[in-house]
Amino acid sequence: MKKQRTVTFNHNPLLKRELPAWRPRIVMLALMGCSLALVGRALYLQGVNDDFLQAKGASRYARVLEVPATRGRITDRHGDILAVSTPVRAVWALPTDARLEPAQVRELARLLEMNVNELNGKLAAGRDFVYLKRQVPPEVAQAVADLRLPGIHQEKEYRRYYPGGEVMAHILGFTDLEDRGQEGIELAFDKRLSGRAGARRVIKDRRGQIVEDVEAIRPPRDGDDVALSIDGKIQYLAWSALREAMEEHKAKAAAAVVLDVRSGEVLALVNAPTFNPNNRANLTGAQLRNRVFTDAFEPGSVMKPFIAALALERGKVRLNTPIDTGNGRMTIGTATISDTKRHGVMTMAEVVQKSSNIGTVKMAQQLGSEEMWHLFDQLGFGTPLNLGFPGETSGRLRPAKSWRPIEQATMSYGHGISTSLIQMARAYLVFAREGELVPLSLTRVEGAPSSGRRVFSAETARQMRTVLAMAAGPGGTAIRAQVPGYTVAGKTGTAHKLEDGRYARKYISSFVGFAPASEPRIVVAVMVDEPSAGKHYGGLVAAPVFSRITEGTLRTLGVAPDMPLTPLQLARRGADEAASEGSGRENM
């Protein structure tokens, strides 16, 4: 066997080769260069430009906290507070630090009015941060703080409080947990009310507790107050009258609005059903709807005075012009229009007083469809009022070129067109303001009121005030609208409701009017949806609500009576018939 040759490490031939002399020098220079670069970088960061390391270090303990601004107050026109933000606390936890004994959990749950299982679920959520409860009253928050529980912390926040409760709910709306407006004035004026949050820099320990307040970065700017045009006393009496009408007539809903004739300010705006903005548990959509703004409905006979005024303005009729309504039935094409009874020949003023559909249609037939459309457009129908109120409807007004003869006829007495209650109330300002239409305001108007747009001549407006006073007086359809000591003027409306494109045997009863008729100070509009206690005519359902609201409002405003203060002796016999107006519709 051949013996293998071995080579020891010391005698390895590869080690006998010499490296070039420049190679170790280059490696040494490279290592020295890297070392110098690291030293230079360290000197630069720690001596010249230390912002980066300071920022990295500060991020471990420094925090910038938001300092909430106080939301502005909402007041009525007299300065009475309607909405105010009160300080409360938010209780939050760091679950990793909140190692609580069962007895501590039970006590904390009791104070926060929470279920023990719910509280344990939040503490075991596996998150770095969790709110246990928001908007905790200060006294409860102090009781929680006195427990000195590890990992349980608090921070300041605000909760909105509404002293008026249900009475002011729909006009004010409400805010969310972050004090941001969600409905009503709170949403419409949210930017103005919110202000701007501030900021401050603090030092916290690893448990999130503040150990030092370093500096204020930006002071908070509190929100501005908003003074509404609403009068708290008038709002309450309107709400009371509406609530009683809802109960008496077993209605589905109701709404009312009161306007100041001189300034266009909204003095009251109420809806039913309503809700308590301080406790919004179990709310429904029906409760939240501000029907004055959001609900469009066919107004019915309250539209008739506008057609009569346009016919007067164009010289087609005079107050004593006779109009033959025949036997109470009229055919246009294949459709038949009817009155509730035969009136025969009546004057133009009596047509409005008795609320004759046929008499109104005959006046409309003397006018062009473009003329009628232009009038409706000038009055604001089919266009939002742009008051900034959320959910405001524009109503429905189709272009005149699409009107058929029967549609022009039915629109003259309020069918085939839809409006909101606030639109209808504003439109009646033309009769109360000598033919002028002014913009409305939800906030208090300081100084001289805004100038309006002329729709009718002053003479036409004055004549229509006489006609509307007849409609609300003896022999008219709204004798129950009378107010002791004051002359009133207005018009009833009773319209069938549309369901699935067909008129159902359900009604919307309404009344729009103003007082005193001799020198108008307020316009009041009332709508009652689906009265179901046996009465549905506007003169029986809505007119009494108008009377009560108007009487209280005039006395609140200090308006002097314009007629002798003697009780009105109204004949009860035939009152129901007198209050029944022409609510007939075409039979298609």
Q: Catalytic amino acids? A: 301
Cα–Cα nearest to 457, from 321, 317, 261, 315: 315
Count of residues in the chain = 588
Alpha-carbon separation of residue 223 from 39, 192, 444, 466 (angstroms): 54, 6, 18, 48
**Of 497, 195, 193, 470, the residue nearest 355 (C-alpha):** 470
Containing 336, the helix (H) or strand (E) segment is strand 335-338
- Helix orientation angle between 304-313 and 369-378, rounded to the nearest 10 degrees: 110
Beta pairing, strands 74-75 & 226-227: parallel
Which of helix, strand or coil describes residue 60? coil
Element spanning 453, H or E? strand 453-454
Beta pairing class for 453-454 and 436-437: antiparallel
Assigned token pair, 454: 């002329």
Contacts of 359 (CB under 8 A, 6+ apart): 323, 325, 343, 346, 348, 350, 351
Contact present, 512 and 549 (Cβ < 8 Å): no
3-state secondary structure at position 304: helix
Prior bond of 516 cis (ω within 30°): yes
3 state SS of 514: strand
The angle formed by the CA atoms of residues 256, 477 and 416, to the nearest 5 degrees, is 65
Can you tell me the distance from the alpha carbon of 326 to that of 338, in angstroms, rounded to the nearest whole number? 10
- Of 587, 419, 420, nearest in space to 503 by CA: 587
Taking the alpha carbons of 293, 296, 302, 308 in that order, is the dihedral positive or negative?
positive
C-alpha to C-alpha distance for 328 and 582, rounded to whole angstroms? 10
The answer to whether 352 and 478 have CB atoms below 8 angstroms apart is no
Alpha carbon distance 553, 103 (integer Å)? 59
Distances (CA, A) of 156 to 43, 71, 87: 44, 14, 7
* DSSP, res 46: I
Please report which residue ranges of 421-542 form alpha helices under DSSP H: 421-427, 429-432, 458-471, 538-541
DSSP string, 194-227: H-B-EEEEEEE-TTS-EEEEEEEEE--BPPPPEE
Give CA separation, 500 vs 298, 504, 506, 536, in Å: 15, 9, 13, 21
Q: 454 - beta bridge partners?
A: 436
